Structure 1
């Protein structure tokens, strides 16, 4: 089984782009497991346990539903703060083979440098990292 970590933020179009990337990989419906994660904010971490659930995050549900509709195996994992460290830690914990990050539209100058989370993951990950764009419904 090829494991892909899919860390999502709050943007549903980016989340759909990440889900589409995973589902369009060869043998996605038979040989890939997607681990979807979201780094809970300070408020979310401090919430009572019954509502401190990564599945409550809309983008996590978007990716989960999209992939499950395409018969991709899915697991959910709670990310930790700061997000880049949490992503790298989960990649190690789940023995991920790949990380599929979302990206924002940026100005020409902004394209020269990824966001700090993407940049840190790209520089420090021990596995391939793909940065994908947004997809609208």
Structure 2
């Protein structure tokens, strides 16, 4: 069986921060410690080798989470970096399913990091019948 690559793009546009901390990111929604749940569709019952790419701005600490379908990815999800970064991480510790899936970004509430998230892209391979 052959496979093809597919993906879903989610514009998160979120500013995550503790009380009293702030970044100058007028384009981003003020979210506090976590974003709302975003939905995206996976048009196959057999998504394989999934990974996520995330645009993040001014991340200062480890410990923030990317959650797929309510489950946190294993390992660290968004590494520290000044300014903009694009980070890719395999989806482990969570599963994509055929149909509607959810995405949420959660700030580590134990730190004082303020950062922003732009677009998140979820990638997978799917079987194609010849």
TM-score for the superposition, normalised by structure 2: 0.30
Greater relative CO, 1 or 2 (CA 8 Å, sep 6+): 2
Q: Flag the structure with higher strand content.
A: 2
Q: Which has the larger radius of gyration?
A: 2
TM-score, normalised via structure 1 length: 0.29
